[in-house]
């Protein structure tokens, strides 16, 4: 595996200089954040990002994410132009040496939580999700803003979009995803960029919007929509793991050859459709992080891996889920497990 760490660009309080000091991190996961969704990423901008990261002593490993325009998900409007733009962006990324791109197909909202800084008994705080609170929220009121959400909507454009989704079923979304893959994966194959879809978070419908990248059967269906190694997965343990029916270790074994990017995050299930984000260590949450890392090790996983969201600890403030300290602890923990697994394997031989 190749250990990476997410960086939100020049405005990120977690600087590249700090990330470089985390032992074992060689790669950066990043994106260009100021290009409107759907427009082509120019090669010069990609090179600028790459050069900044290399000047700090690391490499640009994965793009997370190249966002998919809503017209592609709803299957109307300008989708063909946006798909053509997406393909251009992939070609430019390939020219810059990028070989892995993460994206998601969640309508309107990326990952969603009910509280961004819930106080935990140990004095840290974390993101939590409480279904009842979310059901009471009105997405038009702008009560929450998360790092992954597109902030360019006005109240009117958001209203129109939510209205449009009322007539889009899960099956429609599957069809629109297939339409996208049929065009984009062909290009990804040509330029050798591995596409890695991120699961929906949480993996169930919110605000009445359809969500389909949610469980094993749907991941299987997704991979069959376009059967190519370039049509792959970002396996996010925390996103899928909040549904107790999803066995992450089993998913790693089942889809190993199609997982290009591993997100490791622990979560603690606190009730039905309710969870807290937890420290990475197995005993801190509901997921067997050791078992998951071992599954990757057993499969000889050579893809990219990163710690996912962390808590805010030691008084840190910043982007919810994306502080330095807890994610750094997560990195070191995963690296420690990996080293132990490597050594045990060597000694057994």
Site string for ligand CS2, 274-313 (x = CB under 6 A): ----------------------------------x-----
Tokens representing residue 251 in the block:
């998913």
Q: 6 and 27 in contact (C-beta within 8 Å)?
A: no
Compare residues 126 and 236 and give the one whose CB is closer to Mn ion: 236
Q: How far is 90 from 102, CA to CA, in rounded Å?
A: 11
Binding to ligand CS2 in span 186-215, by CB under 6 A = 198, 201
| Residue 6 in contact with Mn ion, rule: CB under 5 A | no
**3-state DSSP call for residue 73?**
helix
Closest contact distance (angstroms) between CB of 156 and ligand CS2 is 25
| Residue 236 sits in the site that holds Mn ion (CB under 5 A) | yes
Closest CA to 309 of 219, 242, 213: 242
Q: Does 247 bind Mn ion (CB under 5 A)?
A: no
130-148: buried (b, 16+ CB within 10 Å) or exposed (e) per residue? bbeebeeeebeeeebebbb
From the centroid of its chain, how far is CA 135? 23
Q: Which is nearer to Mn ion, 184 or 233 (CB)?
A: 233
Dihedral sign, Cα of residue 126, residue 13, residue 64, residue 110: positive
Per annotation, catalytic residue among 236, 247, 288, 296:
236
Site string for Mn ion, 259-288 (x = CB under 5 A): ----x-------------------------
The two three-digit tokens of residue 300, written as one number: 């000889």
Q: Which residues bind Mn ion (CB under 5 A)?
A: 236, 263, 308
Q: Which residues bind ligand CS2 (CB under 6 A)?
A: 64-65, 102-104, 110-111, 148, 198, 201, 236, 239, 263, 308
| Residues identified as active-site | 198, 236, 263, 308-309, 322
């Amino acid at each position: 595996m190749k250990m990476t760490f997410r960086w939100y660009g020049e405005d990120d309080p977690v600087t590249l200089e700090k990330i470089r000091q985390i032992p074992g991190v060689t790669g950066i996961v990043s994106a260009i954040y100021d290009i409107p969704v759907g427009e082509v990423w120019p090669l010069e901008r990609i090179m600028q990002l790459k050069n900044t990261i290399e000047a700090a002593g690391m490499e640009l490993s994965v793009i997370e994410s190249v966002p998919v325009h809503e017209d592609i998900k709803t299957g109307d409007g300008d989708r063909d132009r946006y798909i053509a733009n997406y393909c251009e962006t992939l070609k430019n990324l390939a020219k810059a040496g990028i070989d892995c791109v993460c994206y998601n197909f969640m309508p309107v909202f990326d990952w969603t939580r009910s509280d961004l800084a819930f106080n935990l008994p140990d004095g840290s705080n974390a993101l939590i999700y409480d279904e009842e609170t979310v059901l009471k929220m009105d997405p038009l009121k702008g009560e929450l803003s998360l790092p992954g959400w597109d902030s360019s909507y006005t109240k009117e454009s958001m209203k129109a979009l939510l209205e449009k989704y009322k007539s889009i079923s899960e099956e429609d979304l599957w069809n629109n995803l297939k339409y996208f893959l049929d065009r984009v994966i062909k290009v990804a194959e040509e330029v050798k960029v591995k596409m890695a879809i991120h699961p929906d978070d949480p993996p169930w419908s919110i605000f009445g919007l359809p969500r389909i990248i949610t469980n094993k059967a749907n991941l299987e269906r997704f991979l069959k929509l376009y059967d190519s190694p370039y049509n792959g997965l970002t396996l996010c343990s925390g996103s899928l793991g909040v549904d107790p029916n999803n066995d992450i270790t089993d998913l790693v074994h089942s889809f190993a050859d199609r997982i290009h990017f591993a997100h490791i995050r622990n979560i603690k299930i606190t009730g039905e459709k309710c969870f807290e984000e937890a420290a990475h260590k197995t005993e801190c949450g509901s997921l067997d992080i050791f078992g998951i890392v071992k599954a990757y090790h057993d499969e000889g996983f050579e893809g990219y891996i990163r710690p996912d969201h962390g808590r805010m600890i030691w008084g840190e403030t910043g982007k919810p889920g994306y502080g330095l300290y807890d994610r750094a602890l997560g990195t070191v923990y995963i690296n420690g497990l990996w080293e132990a697994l490597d050594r045990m394997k060597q000694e057994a031989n």
